């Protein structure tokens, strides 16, 4: 493998990592605050993608540039409506109950959403590539890349990362969320409404999943079953990074993205194995993930 | 006089007896169980095929059904997963007592259901699955394939490529990682090696089935610059690959061969450029050059378009073939049984060796040695035509199945190895759109 | 009333229900042919779920248990493919051995973790296995899986009609034995120690027990049950596919355990029966919404009957006595 190919692989790895990060950071955030592994996260990703495609097909005839706000609008709608519903109706009655039940109820939500998606959008692949086509291609060593994939997606990912950091560290709402993450009981005792925090966090996390789907929608065919694959991948990223670790998720996504790209160039047979093998290896050495803090055992 | 009376009574008694037997034998309805994908990615084939089955059955029943008996359909979902599929198949055969089954689309499902059908002694038509090996490794009594298999399908595409672009030097493959993707490449590459040994294979990529992103594969192919890129992907995977490749200029750089691309043409619309070689898993094309002026063919296509919003694709025609095969077999069995209603075993006997014609393509023969269908193959190249917002096929070749199917009793790969470069120089009729 | 009496009063009716259930699965399929396979599947899956229920006693949920299920299934498949021939008993022994060995190896790593980290590491291992099964196409046939030819039993060969009953009764015998064995295990000191991991692990260690060892024993048993169940399903379905080891399969097993109720071994079978029947009949009548129906059933169970199907009875009894 020469240096040219290595640079190509890096570009491919970065654009892939950007999408993976967007989806997994939402999962990580929700776990960090609610201590719930949201299995329906992949379905939110799929719903975000489908709704974004529906919106952009609707607005494209008016002006193709309107498809960008359409992607954003779709992810917020899904985040608020679906995310809000899952938190308020399904998860809320279960706080304080067995963790398994919380996880399983999101599994039920996953099954239902997977089925609903088929009933709403049908089974034929849907494709809405306007946003991808609007931006010009860039050429690197004679190889074309879409600037949507190698510039826009990484830019959105970086913006999300810093936006989240700023929100959590510098704003009051963020500080409240961080407080609940650090110590749920103490923050409740000083008058923080944990339920409200849960609700808001879940919506943010769900919107990020939907945003990942919306941003992926111009590049890929939307098909039934697309959510089931995404959830394990983002789960692998979140777990490898350490659940709740936002910067960690970014680095891990980048690591997985780059490894995957190099593997496709060198040994394509092992592509699928990459994220899971990394996950096992990391978890064996550092059970709480690369960036996770060790937890005290409760007596 | 007395004698005459007795004779008359005897004759009457015989007539009544025969009539009773006939009435008893002729069922209320012929029940057909159909396994098709109603969920999962392969529902791009399964759902149109289901619509076709309902349309065909309705039409058939309007015309009096099969031998005067209406047909009744029940569907089971291949997408429900192995266990549910087999249990449901057993249920429709054992509890609902269907008379015949059409199963299935995926070779995986066929691998599971074919032995079950044989066990349960119910006639099954493999109506869409393409793995050649199923009928090559074992002789079945109750299982028939009412269409071709992967061998002639891929061979036709390869010969078309060799005829239209004889001097290519390098080839790369991007196939889905499952049996069809692997097997179709094995068929294609074996035949290629036999007929044009100087071609170099520069990349063999098997991305995961249902992979949402081929960007890295596309980059690698852009860097490798192969003369030809083959893919036998289908459904959403093919759409994604073609669009990602098209957006980044790969479709213009290399000659793309879409092994079973006929089913994606309408969906891809303007994103599919001109000059791609497209196969159709049989001689299936809604503007079939030999049939396009046939009123029945046109009426069927238009009715299908009115019902589903799209022109028929190959699984639709495969479904029609299964129905026609069943009807032909029943008619043959009734005739062989002196007009009386045949038993199930008699129908199975009659099915072996049957030739049937849907009128939507050339006739198909069920080879009696191994129950494999001999089906013609159509391959063409994409081109724009006024009046359509998607590409049509041009310079279509229709291949004779007797020539490009491996003989019964010889395994595909063994047979493909024996092909000579001259084989690709066969005469094949070419049709303009 | 002593605690012991209270226990027996609670356990008795459930054991009676279990006996009735096993009797029904023995007799009902004689009348409806297609039930033979359905019940065989219920029993086989119930055996796997027994393993999940076992771990639930320790408060641990494995979200990767399908790996043992897949290992059991693929052991028979590989044997058929590379060695040829085969016998139900041989398959079961091999499937049991391979899943036990594998369970021991994976177990050595995972028993160091608890709760979500336990579940996650299990998931990671199962996904590695799944991707290997998918990717090692030359050996595993990839996503299409390997056919498992119908084996004989003790040298006897069966017609397909007889075979579905043979495998049903084999599954029934194993299920009953597994049910009894798990019951005994849970009532034994080891079983109580397993429960102690959930209630208070540190206290267990203060008593001089190694929580890891206790959990490891439980884990290996549950892996063994998973392997046996997988072997049976592979024989019933006559195929082993990577899907057997996918995470949704693991989710399904946990789902069944919660559906039936994790507090008692019979929950595994009650849950499996309910799950398979809903899926079977929903798929039959509403081919395109069976997932939706299962999802709604699960939500209703979680929200309104958190102790699962076997908990329903208790709730009914309590409310009958005027409630709490």
Q: Give A117-156 pLDDT, tens digit per residue.
A: 888 887 778 888 888 888 888 888 878 888 888 888 999 9
DSSP letter assigned to residue B405: S
Range from A86-100, B77-91, B156-170 carrying the lowest mean pLDDT: B77-91
Which A positions 219-258 lie with beta carbon below 8 A of chain C?
A: 228, 232, 235-236, 239, 243
- Which one of B207, B239, B244 has the shortest CB-CB distance to A125? B239
Query: At which residue do the structure tokens 């019933």 appear?
Result: C236
Q: Which of B195, B239, B184 has its CA nearest to residue B418?
A: B195
- Smallest Cβ–Cβ distance between A268 and the set B44, B206, B239 belongs to B206
**Assigned superfamily of B25-129+292-360:** Response regulator (3.40.50.2300)
Total residue count of chain B as it appears in this document? 433
Calculate the CA A222 to chain-centre distance: 16
| Measured CA distances, A200 to A34, A83, A119, A173, B392 (Å) | 11, 9, 29, 10, 51
In the numeric block, which tokens belong to residue C138? 């030359």
Burial level of C322, CB count in 10 A (0-12/13-18/19+)? Answer: exposed
What is d(CA A67, CA A54) in angstroms, rounded to the nearest whole number? 10
Give the torsion through C-alpha atoms of B269, B271, B275, B281, to 10 deg: -50
Q: What is the pLDDT of residues A165-202, one digit of tens each?
A: 898 888 888 888 888 877 777 887 888 888 888 898 89
Predicted local distance difference test score (pLDDT) of residue B1: 47
In chain C, which stretches have pLDDT less than 50?
Answer: 1, 3, 319-324
Q: Which two three-digit tokens encode residue C100?
A: 């036990």
Q: Is a pLDDT exceeding 90 seen at residue B185?
A: yes
Instruction: Report d(CA B38, CA C142) in Å as an integer.
Output: 23
CB contact under 8 A, C160 and B111: no
Q: Chain B partners of C147 at a C-beta cutoff of 8 Å?
A: 111-112, 115
SS3 call for B36: strand
pLDDT for C204 equals 72
CATH assignment of A3-285? Answer: 1.10.3470
Domains of chain B: which residue ranges? 25-129+292-360, 151-290+376-431
Instruction: Check CB contact under 8 Å for C144 and B107.
Output: yes
Q: Which residue of C has its CA nearest to A35?
A: C116
Q: Is B237 on the interface with A (CB under 8 A)?
A: yes
CA distance B153 to B262: 12
Given this chain, do its domains B25-129+292-360 and B151-290+376-431 carry the same CATH topology?
Answer: yes
Q: Got the DSSP string for B109-139?
A: HHHHHHHHHHHHT-EEEE-S---THHHHH--
Q: What pLDDT shows up at residue C284?
A: 65
B411: its two tokens: 């395994």
Kindly report the nearest CA distance between residue C203 and chain A, in angstroms.
8
> Is the peptide bond between A159 and the residue preceding it cis, with omega within 30 degrees of 0?
no
Substitution target from C284, C285, C286 for chain B, most B beta carbons within 10 A: C284
Interatomic CA distance for residues C160 and C315, integer angstroms: 44
Nearest CA in chain B to C241: B82
pLDDT band (50, 70, 90) for residue B327: very high
The predicted pLDDT at position B17 comes to 45
Say if the Cβ atoms of B179 and C33 lie within 8 Å: no
Q: Are A187 and A194 in contact (CB under 8 A)?
A: yes
Dist. CA B28–CA C294, nearest whole Å: 35
Among A190-199, B167-176, B310-319, the minimum mean pLDDT is found in A190-199
Q: How many CB pairs under 8 A join A and B?
A: 117
pLDDT band at B82 (very low <50, low <70, confident <90, very high): low
Alpha-carbon distance of A81 to A72, in angstroms, equals: 14
Q: Specify the range with the lowest mean pLDDT, choosing from A42-46, A293-297, B235-239, B322-326.
A: A293-297
Q: How many residues does chain C have?
A: 324
Backbone angles phi, psi at A12, to 5 degrees: -60, -45
Helix (H, G, I), strand (E, B) or coil at B366: strand
User: A-chain residues within 8 Å CB-CB of B212?
Assistant: 216, 220-221, 226, 229-230
Is the confidence at residue B73, as pLDDT, over 90?
Answer: yes
**What is the predicted ipTM?**
0.81
Residue B284 confidence class, pLDDT cut points 50, 70, 90: very high
Q: Which residue does chain B place closest to C150, by CA atoms?
A: B115
Nearest to C229 by CA among C256, C211, C200: C256
Shortest CA gap A251–chain B (Å): 20
3-class SS of residue B30: strand
The number of beta carbons lying within 10 Å of the beta carbon of residue C204 is 19
Mapping DSSP to helix (H, G, I), strand (E, B) and coil, where does residue A231 land?
helix
pLDDT in tens, B120-170: 899 999 999 888 888 888 889 999 999 999 999 999 999 999 999 999 999
Task: Name residue C142's beta-bridge partners.
Answer: none
| Length in residues, chain A | 299
Domain ranges of chain A: 3-285
- Asked whether A280 and C64 are in contact (CB, 8 A), the reply is no
CA distances from A248 to A24, A251, A252, A253, B254 (A): 11, 5, 6, 8, 40
Is pLDDT above 60 for B110? yes
Q: Cα separations (Å) of B339 from B22, B33, B325, B332, B344?
A: 9, 25, 19, 10, 15
Q: Tell me the C-alpha to C-alpha distance, in Å, between residue C111 and each of C57, C68, C124.
A: 14, 16, 14
Contacts 24+ apart (CB under 8 A), B136-140: B136/B370, B136/B411, B136/B412, B139/B370, B140/B114, B140/B371
Domains of chain C: 3-320 (1.10.3470)
Q: CB–CB of A15 and B244 under 8 A?
A: no
Residue B53 has pLDDT above 90, yes or no: yes
Residue A235 CA to residue A232 CA, distance in Å, equals: 5
- Do B351 and B372 meet the contact criterion of CB atoms below 8 Å apart? no
Does the structure show a pLDDT above 80 at B109? yes
Locate B382 and state its tokens.
């994409």
CATH number of B151-290+376-431: 3.40.50.2300
Using the predicted structure, report yes or no on whether residue A299 has a pLDDT greater than 60.
no
| Measured distance CA(A260)–CA(C281) in Å, rounded | 42
Which neighbouring-strand residues pair with B382? Answer: B393
pLDDT above 90 covers a percentage of chain B that reads: 54
Q: What is the mean pLDDT of residues A76-99?
A: 87
> Distance between CA B185 and CA B42 in Å, rounded?
20
Compute the 3-state secondary structure of chain A and give helix, strand, coil in percent, each to the nearest 5: 75, 5, 20
Distance CA B72, CA B214 (A): 43
- Residue A192 is given by DSSP the state -
Do the beta carbons of residue C125 and residue C104 sit within 8 Å? no
Q: Considering chain A, what is the average pLDDT of its residues?
A: 85
Q: What percent of chain A has pLDDT over 70?
A: 97
pLDDT score for B15 = 46
Query: Is-contact C125 C140, C-beta < 8 A?
Result: no
In the three-class reduction of DSSP (H, G, I as helix; E, B as strand; rest coil), residue A171 is classed as coil
Residues A145 and B215: their CA atoms lie apart, in Å, by 9
What letter does residue B407 receive in the DSSP assignment?
P
Contact assessment for residue A132 and residue B245, using Cβ atoms and an 8 Å cutoff: no
A111, A270, A272 member nearest C291 (Cβ): A111
For residue B21, name the pLDDT band (cuts at 50, 70, 90): very low
Query: Of B46-50, B105-109, B391-395, C100-104, which range is least confident?
Result: B105-109
Question: Measured between beta carbons, which residues in chain C are less than 8 angstroms from residue A82?
Answer: none
Give the residue numbers in C contacting A (CB under 8 Å), as ranges.
56, 61, 63, 109, 112-117, 119-121, 123-125, 127-128, 130-132, 134-135, 201-202, 247-248, 251, 254-255, 258, 262, 288-292, 294-296, 298-299, 302-303, 306
């Amino acid at each position: 493998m020469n240096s040219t190919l290595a640079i190509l692989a890096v570009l491919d790895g970065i654009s892939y990592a950007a999408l993976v990060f967007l989806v997994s950071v939402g999962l990580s955030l929700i776990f960090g605050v609610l201590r719930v592994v949201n299995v329906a996260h992949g379905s939110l990703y799929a719903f975000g993608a489908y709704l974004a495609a529906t919106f952009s097909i609707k607005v494209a005839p008016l002006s193709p540039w309107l498809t960008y706000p359409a992607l954003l609008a779709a992810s917020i709608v899904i985040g608020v409506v679906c995310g809000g519903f899952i938190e308020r109706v399904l998860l809320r009655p279960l706080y304080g109950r067995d963790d398994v039940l919380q996880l399983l109820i999101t599994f039920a939500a996953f099954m239902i959403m997977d089925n609903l998606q088929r009933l709403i959008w049908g089974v034929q692949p849907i494709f809405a590539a306007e946003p991808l086509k609007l931006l010009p291609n860039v050429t690197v060593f004679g190889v074309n890349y879409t600037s949507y994939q190698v510039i826009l997606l990484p830019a959105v990912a970086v913006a999300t990362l810093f936006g989240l950091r700023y929100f959590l560290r510098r704003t009051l709402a963020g500080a409240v969320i961080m407080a609940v993450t650090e110590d749920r009981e103490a923050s409740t005792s000083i008058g923080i409404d944990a339920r409200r925090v849960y609700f808001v966090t879940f919506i943010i996390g769900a919107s990020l999943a939907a945003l990942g789907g919306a941003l992926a929608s111009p590049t890929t065919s939307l098909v039934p079953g697309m959510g089931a694959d995404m959830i394990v991948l983002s789960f692998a990223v979140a777990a490898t990074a350490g659940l709740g670790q936002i910067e960690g998720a970014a680095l891990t996504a980048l690591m997985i993205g780059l490894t995957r790209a190099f593997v496709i160039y060198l040994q394509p047979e092992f592509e699928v194995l990459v994220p899971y093998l990394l996950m096992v290896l990391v978890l064996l050495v550092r059970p709480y993930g690369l960036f996770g803090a060790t937890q005290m055992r409760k007596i | 006089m007395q004698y005459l009376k007795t004779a008359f009574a005897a004759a009457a008694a015989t007539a009544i007896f025969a009539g009773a037997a006939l009435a008893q034998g002729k069922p209320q309805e012929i029940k057909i169980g159909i396994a098709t994908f109603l969920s999962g990615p392969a529902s791009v084939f399964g759902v149109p095929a289901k619509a076709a089955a309902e349309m065909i059955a309705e039409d058939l029943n309007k015309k009096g059904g099969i031998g005067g008996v209406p047909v009744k359909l029940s569907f089971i979902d291949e997408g429900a997963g192995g266990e549910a599929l087999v249990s449901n198949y057993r249920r429709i055969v054992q509890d609902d007592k269907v008379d015949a089954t059409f199963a299935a689309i995926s070779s995986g499902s066929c691998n599971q259901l074919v032995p079950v059908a044989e066990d349960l002694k119910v006639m099954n038509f493999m109506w869409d699955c393409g793995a050649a090996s199923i009928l090559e490794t074992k002789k079945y009594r109750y299982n028939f394939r009412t269409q071709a298999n992967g061998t002639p399908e891929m061979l036709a595409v390869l010969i078309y490529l060799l005829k239209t672009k004889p001097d290519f030097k390098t080839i790369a493959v991007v196939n889905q990682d499952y049996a069809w993707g692997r097997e179709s490449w094995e068929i294609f590459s074996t035949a290629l090696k036999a007929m044009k040994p100087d071609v170099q294979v520069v990349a063999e990529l098997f991305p995961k089935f249902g992979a949402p992103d081929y960007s890295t594969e596309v980059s690698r192919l852009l860097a490798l610059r192969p003369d030809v890129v083959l893919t036998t992907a289908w459904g959403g995977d093919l759409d994604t690959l073609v669009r990602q490749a098209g957006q980044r200029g790969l479709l213009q750089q290399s000659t793309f061969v879409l092994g079973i691309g006929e089913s994606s043409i309408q969906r891809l619309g303007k994103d599919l450029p001109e000059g791609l070689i497209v196969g159709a898993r049989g001689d299936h094309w809604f503007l079939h050059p030999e049939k396009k002026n046939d009123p029945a063919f046109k009426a069927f296509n238009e009715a299908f378009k009115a019902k589903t919003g799209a022109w028929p694709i190959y699984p639709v025609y495969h479904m029609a073939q299964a129905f026609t095969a069943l009807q032909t077999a029943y008619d043959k069995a009734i005739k062989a049984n002196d007009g009386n209603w045949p038993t199930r075993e008699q129908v199975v006997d009659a099915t072996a060796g049957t030739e049937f014609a849907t009128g939507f393509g050339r006739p198909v023969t069920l080879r009696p040695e191994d129950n494999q269908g001999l089906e013609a193959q159509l391959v063409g190249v994409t081109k724009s035509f006024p009046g359509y917002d998607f590409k049509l096929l041009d310079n279509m070749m229709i291949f004779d199945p007797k020539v490009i199917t491996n003989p019964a009793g010889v395994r595909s790969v063994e047979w493909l190895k024996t092909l000579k470069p001259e084989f690709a120089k066969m005469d094949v009729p070419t049709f303009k759109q | 009333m002593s605690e012991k009496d209270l226990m027996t009063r609670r356990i008795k009716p459930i054991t009676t229900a279990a006996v009735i259930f096993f009797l029904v699965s023995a007799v009902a399929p004689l009348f409806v042919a297609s039930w033979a396979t359905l019940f065989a599947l219920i029993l086989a899956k119930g055996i796997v779920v027994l393993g999940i229920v076992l771990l639930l006693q320790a408060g641990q949920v494995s979200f990767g248990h399908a790996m043992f299920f897949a290992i059991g299934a693929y052991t028979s498949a590989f044997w058929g493919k590379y060695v040829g021939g085969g016998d139900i008993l041989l398959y079961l022994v091999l499937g049991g051995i391979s899943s036990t060995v594998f369970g021991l190896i994976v177990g050595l790593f995972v028993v160091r973790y608890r709760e979500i980290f336990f579940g996650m590491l299990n998931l990671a291992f199962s996904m590695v296995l799944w991707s290997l099964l998918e990717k090692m196409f030359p050996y595993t046939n990839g996503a299409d899986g390997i056919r498992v030819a119908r084996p004989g039993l003790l040298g006897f060969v069966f017609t397909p009609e007889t075979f579905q009953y043979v495998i049903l009764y084999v599954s029934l015998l194993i299920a009953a034995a597994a049910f009894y064995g798990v019951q005994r295990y849970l009532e034994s000191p080891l079983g109580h120690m397993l429960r102690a991991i959930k209630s208070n692990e540190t206290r267990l260690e203060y008593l001089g027990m190694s929580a890891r060892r206790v959990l490891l024993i439980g884990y290996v048993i549950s892996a063994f049950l998973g392997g046996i169940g997988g072997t049976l399903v592979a024989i019933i379905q006559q195929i082993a596919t990577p899907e057997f080891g996918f995470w949704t399969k693991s989710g399904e097993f946990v789902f069944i355990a919660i559906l039936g109720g994790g507090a008692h071994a019979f929950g595994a079978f009650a849950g499996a029966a309910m799950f398979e029947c809903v899926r079977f009949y929903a798929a039959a009548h509403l081919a395109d919404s069976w997932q939706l129906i299962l999802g709604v059933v699960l939500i209703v169970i979680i929200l309104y009957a958190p102790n699962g199907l076997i908990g329903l009875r208790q709730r009914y009894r309590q409310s009958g006595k005027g409630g709490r």
